[in-house]
Amino acid sequence: MKKTVGILLIIVMILQTAIVLAVSREDLENQQEETQTNIKETEKTIEEIQAQKSDAMKEVESLINQISEYQTQLDELESQISDLQTQIDQAEKDIATKEEEYGERKELANEVIVAMYEQGETTYLDVLLSSANIVDFISKYYLISELTNYNVELLKSIEQERIEIENQKAELENDKKELDTAKASKEEKYNELKAAQEKKNAQVAKLTAEEKEEQAELEKFKEDQRNIENELKKILEQESNKNNGNDISYTPSKSGYIFPVAGLSKANINNKTYPSYTGHTGVDININVIGKNVIAVKDGTVEISRAITGSIKNYDSNGKYVGSYSSYGEYVVINHHDGTMTLYGHMKAGSRKVVAGQTVKQGQVIGTVGNTGNCLPRPTPSNPLAGTHLHFEVRVNGSPVNPLPYLP
């Protein structure tokens, strides 16, 4: 009897487990189906937005991206020109100082040579013969030898200085030629930029009022991107010039990163191409991200933690207005001190948990995935979570690179 009851209990447990597994599997399948539906709806919305755009708006977007690239190149050329001019100014000062020292030493050498010629070998012989004893003779002979060696070394060092000055002058001329080339390139790039701006302005006149607002937002986004890039480059320059002026050089490391959204992986990135569209500088993590924590992918220091305000309205989950943003919205930049920095954009309004200058550990929560800033589709009071995703970037020397190889 007991054996029969035991068998029945085992059968019941197996049936319960099977039922639970079936329910769990059904739940997972339902969740997967719901996720795919959400992705398709988002893609459809974005496709509809793109399809509704006029040819003029598409042309304006293309020109804005082109103009932004020209401006970035101009910034780089301006920095190159500034560095070259500084090098040239310093080189000219160094050459002037060395030429002055060279003149003084050459004059001294000429005086020594004249003195040696006037004294002649007889004088040295007279000095030796006037020795009181053998010890005095050896001492005077040593002094005469040292004096002769000094004169020879003096002449050699003066000649070496002359050669160094000539080499520095040659390098200076090369720097000046490079400076002229950079200035010519800057002029050419400026003319290209001006032509693109004139072409863009002609197309802007054809836009609707709504499209003009979108055009203004895109231009601001591009401007913010350039400003952030220049800011990060200055931070890196300051870092590399630490330690009494000794450069600190890093080889950008792709190792040791974790995924920037807690509990998720690359499977939660819908579009894994880079760039996913022209001008996109990161990757968008946008599958099952609502309410998820944004975490530091690696140890580091927070360089930037701020919100970019603008005209794009944002709402909480109940549809209540919480502020207006632009560009990256609420975002954070972390310096990992290994040659790379990471940027986390469009986080939820008021969710940032770190401040500039703060040290963070890998996996530390820095905010919540959101849709502040320039996100598509745009959030509305009736659909406040529209466009929710994390925009994630990896930057090397301040400039964005493909982040996908860095992610596990």
The structural domains of the chain, ordered by start, are 54-207 (1.10.287.1490), 252-406 (2.70.70.10)
* Higher-pLDDT residue of 251, 309: 309
For the CA atoms of 175, 181, 187, 192, the dihedral, rounded to the nearest 10 degrees, stands at: -130
Residue 125 in this model has a pLDDT that exceeds 70: no
Most confident of 117-121, 202-206, 277-281: 277-281
**CA distance linking residue 92 with residue 105, whole number of Å:** 20
Q: Count the neighbouring beta carbons within 10 Å of the beta carbon of residue 31.
A: 11
Give the residue-averaged pLDDT of 216-231.
87
Kindly indicate the confidence band of residue 201, based on its pLDDT and cuts at 50, 70 and 90: confident
Kindly indicate the confidence band of residue 270, based on its pLDDT and cuts at 50, 70 and 90: very high
> String of b and e for 366-376 (b: at least 16 CB within 10 Å)?
bbbbbbbbbbe
Kindly indicate the confidence band of residue 266, based on its pLDDT and cuts at 50, 70 and 90: very high
Kindly indicate the confidence band of residue 392, based on its pLDDT and cuts at 50, 70 and 90: very high
Cα atoms found within 13 Å of the Cα of residue 89, Cβ hemisphere only: 6
Residue 92 in this model has a pLDDT that exceeds 70: yes
Residue 17 in this model has a pLDDT that exceeds 70: no
* Higher-pLDDT residue of 152, 262: 262
Q: Kindly give the residue spans of alpha helices, DSSP state H, lying in 1-54.
A: 2-52
**φ, ψ (nearest 5 deg) of residue 396:** -120, 125
**CA nearest to 335, candidates 307, 305, 373:** 305
Kindly indicate the confidence band of residue 2, based on its pLDDT and cuts at 50, 70 and 90: very low
Mind listing the pLDDT tens digit for each residue in 65-79? 788 788 888 888 888
Pull the structure tokens for residue 240.
């590399």
- Residues contacting residue 407 through CB under 8 Å, at least 6 positions apart: 257, 259, 260, 266, 283, 297
User: Which of 87-96, 142-151, 326-335 is predicted with the least confidence, judged by mean pLDDT?
Assistant: 142-151
* Higher-pLDDT residue of 178, 42: 178
Residue 149 in this model has a pLDDT that exceeds 70: no
- Which pLDDT score, from 0 to 100, does residue 11 have? 44
Pull the structure tokens for residue 208.
């609707």
- Residues contacting residue 83 through CB under 8 Å, at least 6 positions apart: none
Kindly indicate the confidence band of residue 158, based on its pLDDT and cuts at 50, 70 and 90: low
**CA distance linking residue 336 with residue 338, whole number of Å:** 5
**φ, ψ (nearest 5 deg) of residue 385:** -100, 5
- Which pLDDT score, from 0 to 100, does residue 336 have? 93
Average pLDDT, the chain: 79
Residue 141 in this model has a pLDDT that exceeds 60: no
Residue 344 in this model has a pLDDT that exceeds 90: yes
Question: CB of 284 within 8 A of CB of 390?
Answer: yes
**CA nearest to 233, candidates 357, 336, 354, 79:** 79
Q: Kindly give the residue spans of alpha helices, DSSP state H, lying in 53-133.
A: 55-129
